[in-house]
Amino acid sequence: MSDQTLFSIFFSAMIVNNFTLAMFLGLCPFMGVSARVETALRMGLANIFVLVLTSLSAWVLNTYILGEAPYLRIISFIIVVASLVQIVEMVVKKIAPVLFRQLGIFLPLMTTNCAIFGLAIFQTNRGYDFLQGIVFAIGAGLGLTLALVLMASIRESSELSDIPAIAKGTGLTLIIAGSLSLAFMGFAGVL
Amino acid sequence: MVRKTTPPQDLIRGIWKENPVLVQMLGLCPALAVTNTVKNALAMSAATFFVICCSSVLVSSCKSFIPKEVRISSYILVIATFVTLADMMLQAYAPVQHKELGAFIALIVVNCMILGRQEAFSARNTVFRSLLDAVGTGIGFTIALIMMGGFREILGTGSFLDIPLFGPGFEPWVVMVLPAGGFLTLGFILLAMGYAEQRRKAGESA
């Protein structure tokens, strides 16, 4: 069991050890869908939802099923994540078709989003209990959303600026990400 | 549709021209997270190399048994199995590196580069050619990781594989071993590649 307080878990996951900018998890959506603020925000919110569900199921798996066979952890987690994303996709499609259309391809792509899988692994390694896991998931999700929205706003406002031809595309995005990451480093001493 | 390539092309393609990290931007998560020293980069590349080769061989030899509808899930299961193996082997033979890399070994499962090769190549080619393709991609991944690890370790700590390179007067660029350094290093490598490409094109048209 981890004896961290809930607030420190939340703050650490969201700001100090931001999933995207300090731990490099979930970089694919970070590079791919950060061109518009609106899409970035929606992607972030969808991520929070799936992260919380993942945290729940990873906790159940760890507590009740995998106690006997910890070496099956990687395999069972990836199956759970994959089926979870599939189920969420079907439910959203049935209950909220409008939202489903807005999310589009991002929903199925979450299976290979390392943030989701990483959350399950980190949560297990650090021995979080049920409540700590949920708080960790919400913090991580908000952190992802924050990073995505920040990135998208910078990219939107730099769209019309005159940048050298070689820097267009991923090169520039990475350098912006580097600067954002530097900014987040300022929080390193807080906790 | 089978693409018409010769076996040597399968091998070489992944190393530079279609380098998974530097050109296709796949597998960025491990490439940025564990390249703060060359040693970590090497351990990560070795584990990934093992996983991609074994998965490619297994997937391409089982391709006629795997129903099309569940192929992605089957590939993920195959990859997850080999990642578990790699995780255990590293824990047994290189416990220090295993501790340093931590959860990132498990995260090889979600490395889109590996799944991408299964779906794009192993699922429709012979075992031998899939192995060549996997070896090529693995080498390309290794080159990219060592390049990044080298830059970051030399600038960030002033040493290479723990051997000090500069005199005591060298002030390490601490930022390079921090997360921000990963983004900046890859960003500058891409900028340099873009510049080289631009020069090459200009040379061709002139």
User: Per the domain annotation, does A171 fall within a domain?
Assistant: yes
Q: What is the model's pLDDT at position B100?
A: 84
Residue B139 pLDDT = 93
What number is the average pLDDT over the span A180-184?
Answer: 87
Q: Is position A190 within any domain?
A: no
Mean pLDDT, residues A142-158:
88
Q: What percent of chain B has pLDDT over 70?
A: 97
Q: Which residues of A touch B186 (CB under 8 A)?
A: 174
Q: What is the rounded distance in angstroms from the CA atom of residue B4 to the CA atom of residue B19?
A: 19
CA distance A72 to chain B (A): 8
Among A24, A30, A144, most B C-beta atoms within 10 A, so best to mutate, is A24
Domain contains A50: yes
Residue A177 lies in a domain: yes
Q: In what helix (H) or strand (E) does residue A174 lie, and over which residues does it extend?
A: helix A170-185
Chain B residues closer than 8 Å to A27 by CB: 28-29, 32
Distance from C-alpha of B174 to C-alpha of B81, rounded to nearest angstrom: 37
A78 and B191 in contact by Cβ < 8 A?
no
What's the gap in Å between the CA of B6 and the closest CA on chain A?
Answer: 31
* Chain-chain contact of B180 with A24 (C-beta, under 8 angstroms): no
CB burial of residue B92 (10 Å; 0-12, 13-18, 19+): exposed
What pLDDT does residue A19 have?
84
B-chain residues near A173 (CB < 8 A)? 187
Q: DSSP state, B3?
A: -
Looking at per-residue pLDDT, the higher value among A56 and A93 belongs to A56
Q: Is residue A137 part of a domain?
A: yes
* A18: its two tokens: 């931001």
Q: How high is the pLDDT of residue A161? A: 78
* Residue A153 in tokens: 């706003």
**Assigned domain for B139 exists:** yes
What is the domain extent for residue A127? 6-185
Measured distance CA(B159)–CA(B150) in Å, rounded: 9
Has residue B146 got a pLDDT over 70? yes
In a domain, A1, yes or no: no
Q: Is residue B3 part of a domain?
A: no
Other Cβ atoms within 10 Å of A47 Cβ, number: 27
A143: Cβ–Cβ under 8 A, 6 or more apart, which residues? A13, A14, A15, A18, A19, A20
Residue for token digits 């961290």?
A4
**Nearest one of B131, B154, B149 to B43, comparing CA atoms:** B149
Q: Is residue B2 part of a domain?
A: no
Q: What is the pLDDT of residue B1?
A: 41
User: What is the rounded CA–CA span in Å between residue A117 and residue A98?
Assistant: 27
- ipTM of predicted assembly, 2 dp: 0.81
pLDDT of A177 higher than 60? yes
- Provide the b/e sequence for B51-65 (b: ≥16 CB within 10 Å): bbbbbbbbbbeebee
State chain A's mean pLDDT as an integer. 82
Q: Which residue has the tokens 């490619």?
A: B56
Q: Do A185 and B73 touch (CB under 8 A)?
A: no
Q: Is residue B1 part of a domain?
A: no
When divided into structural domains, chain B yields a total of 1
**A9-23, A155-169, B13-27, B129-143 — which one is most confidently predicted on average?**
B129-143
Burial class (CB in 10 A: 0-12, 13-18, 19+), A122: buried
Select from B90, B101, B107 the residue whose CB has the most chain A CBs within 10 Å, as the one to mutate to test that interface.
B107
pLDDT band at A105 (very low <50, low <70, confident <90, very high): low
Residue A133 located in a structural domain = yes
Instruction: Say yes or no for a CB contact (<8 Å) between A25 and B109.
Output: no
Select the residue of B77, B115, B194 nearest A112 (Cβ to Cβ): B115
Whether the Cβ atoms of residue A141 and residue A48 lie closer than 8 Å to each other: yes
Contact assignment for A121 to B194 by CB distance below 8 Å: no
As for how many domains chain A has, the answer is 1
Model pTM score: 0.85
Q: Could you give the CA distance from residue A63 to residue A99 in angstroms, rounded to a whole number?
A: 33
Question: Quick one: pLDDT at residue B47?
Answer: 92
Which region among A125-139, B21-35, B132-146, B178-192 has the lowest average model confidence (pLDDT)? B21-35
Q: How many CB pairs under 8 A join A and B?
A: 113
Mean pLDDT along residues B146-164: 84
Domain span including residue B198: 8-205
Tell me the residues of B at the A interface, defined by beta carbons under 8 Å apart. 25, 28-29, 32-33, 73, 76-77, 80-81, 83-84, 87-88, 102-103, 106-107, 109-112, 115, 175, 178-184, 186-188, 190-191, 194-195, 197-198
Which residues make Cβ contacts (< 8 Å) with residue B8, sequence separation at least 6? Answer: none
Q: Which pLDDT tens digit goes with each residue over A49-66? A: 888 998 999 999 888 888
